[in-house]
Amino acid sequence: MTHNVPTDAELAASLDGDFTSAYAEVNGTRLHHVTGGAGEPLILLGGWPQTWWQFRKILPELALRYRVTAVDLRGMGGSAKPAAGYDKKTMARDIHELIRQLGHRSAFVAGHDIGASLGYHLAANFPESVRRLVTVDMGVPDAAWQAITMLPGSDDQAAALEHGRGGYPWWFAFNQLRELPEQLLADRFRLVIDWLYGHMLVDQASVEEEARRIYAHAYDSPDAIRAGNGWYQTMRQDIADLADYAPVTVPILTLAGEESYPALRQQMSADKGTDIRVVEIKGSGHYIPEEQPGQMVRELTAFFESSAVASA
């Protein structure tokens, strides 16, 4: 399927803040990233099934205060899609090395979805690289995730699932499959984009047609589908690695959409870290950077600036 979408360089140039698209060779792979602004370093890590472009609404405002870099993770968008290395401990080293390549000893880090889990593993393995961490609408996969119910147990729960509610993430299981997702979804990934947004946005207009085309284009090839699914296929390894970590001492702020707030309050508990706060973002579903960018920017800047006050 042919998509009429801009290049990453064109998208970066379209944003206020003098953003540029570039690449870095790190940890045996190649990461694409977009950087702009001036100030203390801030790294943004995205999730499935999106690219760095999911941060388009918050990048210009953040660039007024920070030297901000939005990253395509290993397997995402303009980054390389190797055969292996999708466990979050390996990907954490990707970001650790990228921070150093960008000329920083450490940075503020904010991750959404898969990027939230990756950010946590980064803080656990390379705490010297993370000043403060924000996780956005996803917990950290632990042993309890292996017992997540895939099928609703009642008609009411089935109705909730139809509306994207009730905690039945069918794609966690579907993305475990080898080869079949690529065969079914190549050149048809827009169906997945629209289903996820259709069920997990409060305001459908918050993600415009152009963005949906960009994401569909990024995931439409068999190679891209395989790579993105790798983030899910390694979750058992991520859970095993997590069991070896002590609670993270880096301060953590978790931003949660209305539906996920109760669950994230429970998941982001004392066993995950010594300083964790969970904040509900009103009027938002899962895709907070696109649906409530103003609230997200305010929460990030207040959290990051409080560290400057504390260290002054």
Do 42 and 69 meet the contact criterion of CB atoms below 8 Å apart?
Answer: yes
Q: Do 114 and 47 form a contact (C-beta atoms < 8 A)?
A: yes
What CA–CA distance (Å, rounded) separates 27 from 47? 20
Mean pLDDT score, 130-156: 88
Residue 137 backbone phi and psi in degrees, to 5: 55, 40
Q: What was the pLDDT predicted at 308?
A: 59
Residue 290 has pLDDT above 50, yes or no: yes
Locate 173 and state its tokens: 């299981």
Residue in 304, 284, 302, 307 with CA at minimum distance from that of residue 68: 304
pLDDT band for position 138 (50/70/90)?
Answer: very high
Neighbours of 264 (CB within 10 A): 23
Indicate the pLDDT class of residue 156, thresholds 50, 70 and 90: confident
* Cis geometry, peptide bond prior to residue 127 (ω within 30 degrees of 0): no
Q: What average pLDDT does the structure give for the chain?
A: 94
Q: How far apart are CA 212 and CA 209, in angstroms?
A: 5
**228 or 269, which is more confident:** 228
- Position 311 scores a pLDDT of 44
Quick one: average pLDDT of 201-228? 97
Query: Residue 62's pLDDT band (boundaries 50, 70, 90)?
Result: very high
Over residues 67-80, the pLDDT tens digits come to 999 999 999 999 99
Which string of DSSP letters, residue by residue, matches 79-124?
A: S---SS--SHHHHHHHHHHHHHHTT-S-EEEEEETHHHHHHHHHHH
pLDDT in tens, 241-272: 999 999 999 999 999 999 999 999 999 988 99
Distance in angstroms (rounded) separating the CA atoms of residues 58 and 19: 13
* Helices within the chain (DSSP H only): 8-13, 59-62, 88-101, 114-125, 155-162, 170-174, 180-185, 190-200, 209-219, 222-233, 235-242, 261-267, 288-291, 293-311
Q: Which pLDDT score is estimated for 155?
A: 82
Helical pair 235-242 and 88-101, crossing angle rounded to 10 deg: 80
Return the CATH fold of 8-311. Answer: Rossmann fold (3.40.50)
